[in-house]
């Protein structure tokens, strides 16, 4: 029991194959790896399979891109992590409103909304990934 929430089972609710920790949930779980593969395809970027969060952040820090493009990449990463967390919570708390089929749409919508909020004073921003962000 953590944060005063008792869980019947501490295994990953997405795959059931391992105990859930942040590394497994966000990076090692087969469901999460499929999500990251779809994100990589969307942004046309060769994203490696990470096993630890530190290796993910180190890879992101090492990608040779301009600062404005790095911001876009970071928003996509945060949106992906947030969507995986929402999927996990929908399974854990039996919330049928958020399903696996919604994850990629959620990543894209959140990414655009977060970037729009960040750049709403600018007339037009075109992202590294070929999408008009505003």
How many domains is the chain partitioned into structurally? 1
Question: Residue 128 falls within a domain, yes or no?
Answer: no
Please say if the pLDDT value at position 133 is more than 70: no
pLDDT in tens, 71-82: 889 999 999 999
Render pLDDT for 1-36 as a digit per residue (tens, 0 to 9).
355 555 566 788 888 888 889 999 999 999 999 999
Residue 51 counted as domain residue: yes
Neighbours of 81 (CB within 10 A): 19
Could you give the 3-state DSSP secondary structure of residue 57?
A: helix
Whether 110 is covered by a domain: the verdict is: yes
Contact indicator for 87, 100 with CB cutoff of 8 Å: yes
pLDDT tens, residue by residue, 86-110: 999 888 888 777 778 889 999 999 9
Residue 1 placed within a domain: no
73 lies in which domain range?
22-119
Q: Which has the minimum average pLDDT: 47-51, 88-92, 114-118? A: 114-118
Structural domain contains residue 127:
no
């Amino acid at each position: 029991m953590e944060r005063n929430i008792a869980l019947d089972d501490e295994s990953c609710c997405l795959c059931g194959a391992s105990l859930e920790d942040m590394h497994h949930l966000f990076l090692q779980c087969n469901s999460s790896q499929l999500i990251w593969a779809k994100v990589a395809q969307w942004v046309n970027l060769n994203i490696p399979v990470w096993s630890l969060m530190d290796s993910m952040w180190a890879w992101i820090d090492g990608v040779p891109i301009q600062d404005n493009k790095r911001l876009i990449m970071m928003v996509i990463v945060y949106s992906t992590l947030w969507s995986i967390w929402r999927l996990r919570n929908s399974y854990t708390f039996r919330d049928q409103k958020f399903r696996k089929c919604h994850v990629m749409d959620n990543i894209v919508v959140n990414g655009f909304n977060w970037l729009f909020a960040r750049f709403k004073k600018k007339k037009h921003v075109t992202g590294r990934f070929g999408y008009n962000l505003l």
